[in-house]
């Protein structure tokens, strides 16, 4: 796929793609990001599909100005205010307690959301013109090196994205530093483009939580972070075991006939894995609140986003 020089016209076009649920690869000062409308769960599901991630990993939400925080996060405390004032725009991501408007697929079911205000003029213009926050991981396939020029993205993900904006080489070239300001202590979760020393000069010593950061804070790494409280079992056929009154069904597609479960959630009426992935965490939340003894989850095909769905279901079932 061809890359497009990031002219003002191209950025306007890219913003329209984002607004209509598409994927745009764009430059930031750290690495190229693979962006989608952060408030549109199906658009975000396309990111996971394009990257071939084997499990859901929470994404960073990119904003164009500090005012955008008002609708996304709560509990912005003094530490976060100081960090934002000192380092935004720039290669720093801050993790905050999230508001309900942020879809579960963005945060992998966590109660926090990672926010970044990038310094790159193309990134800022894109977010500004899209009028929505943009969820974006690095624009590489899972397990590959992050892209720092548009051609990397074209080689690795070309064909899976709707547009690749070329803004030249990334200035920082490593991903943003991630600091969590969501609990009583401030923790550094990932070393990155903003040195620890600079951060500590502003807010004092940080707890180092980077040791296990090869493994991101995602449901796969911390099962306790996201498993339904309710017991869950995977079934190949929603008719077996037969429906009982204190069981719920998490169906992949619309069941062929009405089944006598206490509650039923359909992930995708037409059996579309992208739509199913976008709905998975929210559906599990609802069934967990249905007061049943067990959730039977119908197996989905293990291809595309189906692998991620089955990975999550197996972890939930293993609890
Ligand atoms: O520089 C960057 O940060 C680039 C550019 C595109 O902004 N993005 C990036 O995204 O590196 P990604 O998806 O490759 O890495 C995001 C990291 C992951 O390790 C993820 O686990 C962590 O951020 N993360 C996201 N949300 C989180 C949360 N709520 N709590 C803790 N960690 C979170
Ligand atoms: Mg990455």
Q: What's the pTM?
A: 0.81
Ligand number nearest to the C-alpha of 141:
2
Tell me which of 245 and 26 has the higher pLDDT.
26
pLDDT above 50: residue 302: yes
Domain 4-208: homologous superfamily in CATH: DHBP synthase (3.90.870.10)
Residue range 182-194, pLDDT digits in tens: 988 899 898 888 8
Residue having the nearest C-alpha atom to atom 10 of ligand 1: 137
pLDDT tens for 80-89 read 999 999 999 9
Check residue 84 and report its DSSP letter. Answer: H
First to last CA, the chain: 43
- Reported as a pLDDT band with limits 50, 70 and 90, residue 223 is very low
Tell how far the Cα of 122 is from the centroid of ligand 2, in angstroms.
20
Contact 265, 220 (CB under 8 A): no
* Pocket lining: 119 vs ligand 1, CB cutoff 6 Å: no
User: Are the folds of 4-208 and 231-317 the same?
Assistant: no
Using the mean position of ligand 1's atoms as its centre, give its distance from the Cα of residue 227 in Å.
21
**pLDDT value at position 226?**
44
Of residues 234 and 217, which shows the higher confidence score?
234
Residue 107 confidence class, pLDDT cut points 50, 70, 90:
very high
Q: Which ligand is nearest to the CA of 171?
A: 1
User: What's the pLDDT at 120?
Assistant: 98
Question: Residue 220 has what pLDDT?
Answer: 36
**Given this model, what pLDDT does residue 289 score?**
86
> Does 97 contact ligand 1 (Cβ within 6 A)?
no
Sequence ranges of the domains in the chain: 4-208, 231-317
The ligand whose atoms approach the alpha carbon of 31 most closely is 1
Residue 213 has pLDDT above 50, yes or no: no
Contact between 280 and 267 under an 8 Å Cβ cutoff? The reply is yes
Tell me the C-alpha distance between 118 and 109, whole Å: 24
Q: Which fold has domain 231-317?
A: Rossmann fold (3.40.50)
Nearest atom, ligand 1, residue 218 CA: 21
**Looking at residue 228, what is its pLDDT?**
79
d(CA 301, CA 23): 24
Q: Chain centroid to CA 242: how far?
A: 36
Residue 123 CB–ligand 1 contact under 6 Å = no
CA-217 nearest atom, ligand 1: 21
Question: Taking all residues of the chain, what is their mean pLDDT, rounded to a whole number?
Answer: 88
């Amino acid at each position: 796929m061809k890359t497009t020089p990031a002219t003002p016209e191209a950025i306007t076009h890219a913003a329209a793609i984002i607004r209509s649920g598409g994927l745009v690869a764009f430059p930031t000062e750290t690495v190229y990001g693979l962006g989608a409308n952060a408030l549109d769960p199906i658009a975000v599901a396309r990111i996971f599909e394009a990257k071939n991630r084997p499990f859901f990993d929470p994404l960073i939400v990119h904003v164009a100005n500090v005012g955008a925080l008002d609708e996304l996060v709560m509990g912005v405390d003094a530490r976060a205010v100081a960090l934002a004032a000192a380092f935004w725009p720039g290669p720093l991501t801050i993790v905050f307690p999230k508001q309900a408007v942020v879809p579960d697929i963005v945060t992998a079911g966590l109660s926090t959301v990672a926010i970044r205000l990038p310094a790159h003029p193309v990134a800022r213009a894109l977010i500004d013109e899209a009028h929505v926050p943009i969820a974006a991981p690095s624009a590489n396939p899972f397990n590959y090196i992050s892209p720092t020029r548009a051609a990397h993205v074209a080689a690795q993900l070309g064909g899976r994205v709707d547009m690749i904006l070329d803004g030249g080489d990334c200035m920082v070239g490593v991903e943003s530093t991630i600091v969590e300001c969501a609990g009583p202590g401030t923790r550094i979760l990932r070393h990155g483009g903003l040195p620890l020393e600079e951060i500590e000069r502003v807010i004092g010593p940080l707890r180092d939580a980077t040791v296990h950061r090869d493994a991101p804070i995602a449901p796969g790494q911390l099962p306790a972070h996201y498993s339904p409280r309710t017991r869950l079992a995977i079934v190949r056929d929603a008719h077996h075991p037969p429906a009982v009154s204190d069981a719920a069904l998490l169906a992949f597609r619309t069941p062929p006939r009405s089944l006598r479960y206490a509650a039923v959630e359909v992930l995708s009426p037409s059996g579309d894995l992208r739509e199913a992935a976008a709905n998975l965490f929210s559906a599990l939340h609802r069934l967990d609140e249905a007061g049943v003894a067990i959730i039977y989850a119908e197996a989905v095909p293990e291809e595309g986003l189906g692998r991620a769905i089955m990975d999550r279901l197996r972890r939930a079932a293993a609890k």
